[in-house]
């Protein structure tokens, strides 16, 4: 068994988290008699597949680490050799191995913008160590949030003048909202939407039929994260079906932060002018915004209530009314009617919706409370489904027993006739 070498691999690019030091350019010759593990790292640096295969076949440990805890996978990730990375992973290389500074191959690939390697490592389960969703230190990057340093604006495309654009993150296109307020640092001036997918508009009936409870929880959890974001809460202000997208895993993601607002020093916001129908759909906007009054995070709760009802009803709020008339209806404390069967609003769901679109914003529940209620409803529905399945199985088993018994009775009757 090879022992861990005390040699340091110093060719090519170094660890993304290492203290700065001059890196020796690639192409230097490796001294004769040097550890085979260092030779493996050298070959990875050079992209020498044949040399690596020979070393691995001769027994060189694929997860060999130098004195800095670096592996051949670290080196290949730094240099941007997807074929080398694939070879190493195919031979059992540890994908989330950390060097002495805590840098992983994925972190190195991201640092050097080797996006093909990033995608390959992520496909094999590589993950960056993330802080929890709620962090104490403002410098930590919470779970589900993008580090602004990773955004590439070199080929960005503006969507709306000066505020919304398409940029690149790890080689993937993302929509970026820029906040122009002077009180934010450059890193605080961006909000990224990395979830592009299928709009809720195109899946409305599907959601109505299959498990609205899980989809509603997805939206509520996303909104809860925005509202509890530190140090400032984020008001979406444009929560409507077209801004709720479905990703490849089937989960819903809240998107489009073009009208979002940050709340750092104030508990409410007052606009200079009301939102126009060109900026957003009035069909999902809270009355206090339409009337140009002070508002807070509860405007998103109002919008959520309308979306939740739409999932069940299968049609948008007041489908036959023009948007201006919908706005007037909300201002007059009129709400969309409940036309779906009562059983679809069981277990307090209708009451939850009515609380969420209350005329008084202070009476609307927070998304944390909404999540709690939806989880309770989900548990009730899950138990009901299980009971139905067990009941159905019991009936099926009983039916099978009766069929067997009936068959046996017929058989006995036939034998009796024959013998007589």
Say whether 238 is catalytic: yes
**239, two tokens:** 């929560």
Catalytic site residue from 193, 238, 296, 300: 238
Encode the chain in three state secondary structure: CCCCCCCCCCECCCCCCCCCCCCECCCCCCCCCCCHHHHHHHHHHHCCHHHHHHHHHCCCCCCCCCCCCCCHHHHHHHHCCHHHHHHHHHCCCCCCCCCCCCCCHHHHHHHCCCHHHHHHHHHCCCCCCCECCCCCCCCCCECCCCCHHHEEEEEEEEEECCCEEEEEECCEEEEEEECCCCCCCHHHHEEEECCCCEEHHHHHHHHHHCCHHHHHHHHHHHHHHHHCCCCCEEECCCCCHHHEEECCCCCEEECCCCCCEEECCCCCECCCCCCCCCCCCHHHCCHHHHCCCCECCHHHHHHHHHHHHHHHHCCCCCCCCCHHHHHHHHHCCCCCCCCCCHHHHCCCHHHHHHHHCCCCHHHCCCHHHHHHHHHHHHHHHHHHHHHHHHHHHHHHHHHHHHHHHHHHHHHHHHHHHHHC
Instruction: Give yes or no for a contact between 9 and 40, defined as CB atoms under 8 angstroms apart.
Output: no
Active-site amino acid positions: 238
């Amino acid at each position: 068994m090879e022992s861990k070498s005390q040699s340091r691999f110093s060719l090519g690019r170094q660890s993304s988290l290492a203290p700065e030091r001059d890196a020796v350019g690639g192409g230097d010759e490796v001294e004769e008699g040097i550890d085979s593990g260092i030779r493996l790292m050298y070959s990875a640096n050079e992209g020498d597949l044949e040399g690596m295969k020979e070393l691995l076949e001769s027994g060189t440990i694929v997860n060999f680490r130098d004195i800095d805890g670096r592996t051949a996978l670290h080196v290949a990730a730094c240099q941007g050799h997807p074929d080398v990375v694939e070879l190493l992973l195919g031979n059992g290389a540890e994908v989330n191995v950390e060097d002495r500074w805590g840098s992983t191959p994925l972190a190195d690939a991201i640092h050097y913008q080797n996006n093909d390697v990033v995608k390959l490592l992520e496909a094999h389960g590589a993950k960056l160590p993330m802080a929890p969703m709620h962090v104490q230190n403002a410098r930590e990057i919470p779970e589900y949030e993008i580090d602004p340093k990773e955004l590439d604006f070199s080929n960005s495309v503006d969507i709306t003048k000066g505020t919304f654009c398409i940029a690149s993150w790890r080689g993937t296109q993302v929509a970026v909202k820029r906040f122009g307020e002077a009180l934010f640092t450059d890193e605080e001036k961006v909000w990224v939407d990395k979830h592009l997918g299928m709009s809720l508009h195109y899946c409305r009936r599907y959601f109505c039929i299959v498990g609205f409870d899980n989809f509603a929880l997805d939206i509520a959890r996303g909104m809860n994260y925005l509202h509890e974001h530190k140090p400032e809460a984020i008001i979406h202000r444009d929560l409507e079906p077209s801004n709720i997208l479905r990703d490849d895993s089937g989960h819903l993601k809240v998107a489009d932060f073009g009208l979002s607002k940050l709340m750092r020093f104030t508990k409410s916001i007052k606009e200079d002018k009301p939102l126009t129908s060109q900026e957003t759909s009035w069909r999902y906007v809270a009355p206090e915004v339409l009337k140009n009054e002070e508002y807070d995070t509860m405007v998103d709760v109002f919008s959520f209530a309308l979306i939740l009802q739409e999932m069940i009803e299968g049609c948008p709020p007041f489908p036959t009314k023009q948007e201006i008339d919908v706005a007037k209806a909300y201002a007059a404390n009129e709400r969309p009617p409940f036309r779906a069967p009562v059983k679809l609003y069981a277990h307090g769901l209708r009451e939850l919706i009515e609380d969420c679109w209350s005329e008084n914003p202070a009476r609307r529940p927070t998304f944390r409370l909404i999540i709690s209620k939806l989880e309770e409803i989900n548990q009730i529905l899950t138990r009901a489904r299980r009971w139905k399945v067990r009941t159905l199985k019991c009936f099926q088993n009983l039916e099978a027993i009766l069929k067997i018994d009936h068959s046996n009775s017929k058989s006995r009757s036939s034998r009796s006739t024959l013998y007589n």
